[in-house]
Structure 1
Amino acid sequence: MTYAIHPIVVGTKVFDKGMMTYQHDYGREYTIPIYSWYIQGGDKNIIIDTGEMHPIQSEAREKAIQGSIFTFEQGLARFGLTPEDIDVVIHTHLHNDHCENDSKCTNAVFYCHSRELETVHNPHPLDYRYLEDFIEDIEENGQIQTVVDGQEILPDIRVMHTPVHTEGGLTVWIQTKHGLAAITGFCVIEENFFPPPQIRGLEMEVIPPGTVVNTYHAYDIMQRVKEQADILIPLHEPKFASVEQIP
């Protein structure tokens, strides 16, 4: 079975670019899109992450990412869907900007790594991006299932435990008509995988994210993902904001 991947921008963040590129490009303002990815194919309505509940929809933000910003409902409506129509949600991780709309998907089964579920309830002070309020409803409703490394969620959709940005990060591998796509389980842009010449000159093949669990492990995990993917989809790469479908 093959799938098509549809990026839906459901939020943005404006911050120092060094938040994305470890030890590189600090002091430069940078805007990233926050995506919910609609996976089309098969008999299930599948999304990866649910994004922000109240995204800033401004001309300046849209100009910065060169694409439109939608509410969760608006984004799904482009495909004739409502949140109640979603059958499966796979979470790359549970930082709040990736799960704020979870409670709207009342009929969905949610998949995440057990370490991520533990952390959202008891985060380290450095992990201020977790907010358990956004998953309490689905947890109380018994909608969450935890997964293990390599588990196949649906035919030709599996997850890989990639603790790069968070302890329970999951990279989602999806079979498409043009090969195996990887939606990274960590917050990076394309430059993290394809560094500029001045970084490659330091013999660095990838740049870990600015927020990282273990920099050395992150580097090695990113290398493995890069090598295995036919289609590499960094979780916050701006160029996908203007793309209707991958591949």
Structure 2
Amino acid sequence: MFTIEPLVVAYGPHREKSRFTYMHNAGVPVDVPYVAWLVRGQGFAALVDVGCSADNYNEHIRPVDRELVHVGQVFADVVDVKPIESHLRERGMKPSDIDVTILTHLDWDHCMTMEPFGGSEILVQRQEWQQTPSHEMFATSYAPAEHYQRIEDMGLTQLDGDYQIADGFDLLLTPGHTHGGQSAVVTTSEGTYVIAGMCVLKENFYPSEEEAEHFKVIPPGGHTDLFQAYEQMVRLKELGGDNVLPLHMTEAFDMGRIGSLAD
């Protein structure tokens, strides 16, 4: 058994909600958390994504002379919540206690805070690594090339599809949002949970009653393959049921630990 805890590092204020919920909620602002998901159990600890701090954003992502314009929206700057090292310290941990760092995909808001975890095993899908950046339309979704080079220099393990980290902790190749995204399936004392490796919200997996008359899930607004993203989300929902954890779920701001450390 494992536990899962969302460590909210920072957030992006007033993001356009339809960027996450394809063709829904145009003009609706949402504060989007940047989360590192801490998974512990069976004598080791892992992070699923590492988030992005305000300093990371200002130094590496935001243009020097203006605000970032991303997919037609002028971005308000990233706001810090709590450094990832402080989150770990509150749990009696330090960065060197992280054995595995999983990058669900390589958008900048998921992989910028990598430096403290260079000593861990870093897992990314080969398909994702080799096709980043995926297209000029998504240029502002990615960090500068030198950041990915730093990650590679840390010692990177490239996966070719589904992969078991431990009994009850599996990675699934789930493309569609990006070419080689991956998601984590984690067994806890409260049931099986899925950390969905796409830039989506709870509403994407659990549409309103009216929306659900037409489709099972709402695919991400940003995607390399709309239908593939939809199919992979349906797959994850079938695995996780009510226990799907989207990467940008606003509930992460207030969510506690899932599962018991005693298990």
Same fold (TM over 0.5): yes
1:22 aligned partner, one-letter code: Y
SS in 1 for 2:54: coil
1:31-66, CA deviations, whole angstroms, 9 ceiling, x for partnerless residues? 11111011111222211111113379xxxxxxxxxx
- 1:237 corresponds to which residue? 249
Q: Which runs of 5+ in 1 are unaligned?
A: 57-67
Contact 2:219 2:229 in 1 (8 A): yes
Number of residue pairs matched by the alignment: 232
- 1:87 corresponds to which residue? 99
1:141-197, CA deviations, whole angstroms, 9 ceiling, x for partnerless residues? 3x2101132210233211111112111100111111122211001111111111123
Question: Does 1:70 pair with 2:69?
Answer: no
Give the deviation of 1:137 after TM superposition.
Answer: 2.3
Give the deviation of 1:91 after TM superposition.
Answer: 1.0
Contact 1:32 1:237 in 2 (8 A): yes
- 1:32 corresponds to which residue? 32
- 1:127 corresponds to which residue? 138
- 1:23 corresponds to which residue? 23
- Aligned-CA RMSD value: 1.8
Contact 1:49 1:89 in 2 (8 A): yes
1:109-138, CA deviations, whole angstroms, 9 ceiling, x for partnerless residues? 100100111123x54212221223333223
- 1:136 corresponds to which residue? 149
Q: Return the match for 1:149 from 157, 161, 167.
A: 161
Cα distance in 2 between the residues matched to 1:78 and 1:70: 11
SS in 2 for 1:94: coil
- 1:158 corresponds to which residue? 170
Give the deviation of 1:204 after TM superposition.
Answer: 1.3
Contact 1:103 1:135 in 2 (8 A): no
CA separation of 1:242 and 1:95: change in aligned 2, threshold 3 A: same
Question: Does 1:106 pair with 2:118?
Answer: yes
Contact 2:202 2:249 in 1 (8 A): yes
SS in 2 for 1:180: strand
Fraction of identical pairs, as percent: 28
- 2:186 corresponds to which residue? 174
Q: Which runs of 5+ in 2 are unaligned?
A: 57-79
- 1:116 corresponds to which residue? 128
Cα distance in 2 between the residues matched to 1:28 and 1:219: 22
Contact 1:174 1:181 in 2 (8 A): yes
Give the deviation of 1:6 after TM superposition.
Answer: 0.7
Contact 2:176 2:227 in 1 (8 A): no
Contact 1:159 1:170 in 2 (8 A): yes
- 2:50 corresponds to which residue? 50
Q: Return the match for 1:190 from 191, 202, 207.
A: 202
When normalised by structure 1's length, the TM-score is 0.88
Q: Return the match for 1:220 from 199, 207, 231.
A: 231
Cα distance in 2 between the residues matched to 1:22 and 1:13: 18
Cα distance in 2 between the residues matched to 1:192 and 1:55: 30
SS in 2 for 1:160: strand
- 2:11 corresponds to which residue? 12
Contact 1:162 1:185 in 2 (8 A): yes
227-236 or 22-31, which deviates more = 227-236
Cα distance in 1 between the residues matched to 2:43 and 2:137: 40
Cα distance in 2 between the residues matched to 1:220 and 1:123: 20
SS in 2 for 1:152: strand
Cα distance in 2 between the residues matched to 1:235 and 1:123: 20
When normalised by structure 2's length, the TM-score is 0.83
SS in 2 for 1:80: coil
Cα distance in 1 between the residues matched to 2:54 and 2:12: 12
